[in-house]
Amino acid sequence: MTSLTELNQYSSEHNHNQCVSLALGTAQQLCNQRGVLLTTIRHQVLTLIWESHKAVKAYELLDRLRPLQATAKPATIYRALDFLIEQGLIHRVESLNAFVGCRCSDQQHEQLLLICKLCEQVDERPAAEVMSALLEESKQAGFMIHSKAIEIHGICSDCSTK
């Protein structure tokens, strides 16, 4: 089976159906393993998030969910988002107040996010050297890490070569 992380370098012309089915498959699998429910609503929200590699806003998700769930309210979305974040299936992009699918939910979390200002796509990278430098820096500061948000804004390679 192809792992999500093997698709790390997606181009603008990649087969996105593959991204989606892989993400949803992995999500279902992880939820089964963990004994938690990927309910209809949660599955729908995750699918909506995976419509692209862009980060999506909560109220935009709400608008897109309503045709499928007539009773959807802000709480509906935020509950689903909370669940998906807890399960490591999506990331919250702090600097955008938005949410993006995680391409390595079966592996290490808290990666580095490269966020393109032009195409708005978010690329998630393990960036092992950055992480180890970060660990060393924290160690020197006597700081115990609980969580990280590493968000880099700029222009992606696709956009800069166009």
Note whether 72 binds DNA by CB under 7 A: yes
Among 30, 57, 85, 134, the residue binding DNA under the rule CB under 7 A is: 57
H/E element holding 113? strand 112-116
Q: How far apart are CA 88 and CA 14, in angstroms?
A: 24
Which DSSP string do the residues of 37-77 spell out, in sequence order?
---HHHHHHHHHHTTSSB-B-HHHHHHHHTTT-TT--HHHH
Interaction partner, residue 66 (its own copies, DNA, Zn ion, none; CB < 5-8 Å by kind): none
Residues lying near its own copies in the complex (CB under 8 A) are found at 94-95, 112, 114, 116-117, 123, 125, 127, 129-130, 132-134, 136-138, 141-157, 160-161
In the complex, what is the shortest distance from the CB of residue 113 to DNA, in angstroms, rounded to a whole number?
Answer: 16
Amino acid in position 96? L
Considering only the stretches 11-19, 35-43, 62-70, 135-143, report the one whose residues sit in contact with Zn ion under the rule CB under 5 A: 11-19
Q: Are 49 and 61 in contact (CB under 8 A)?
A: yes
Q: Where do contacts with Zn ion occur on this chain (CB under 5 A)?
A: 10, 16, 19, 116, 118-119, 156, 159
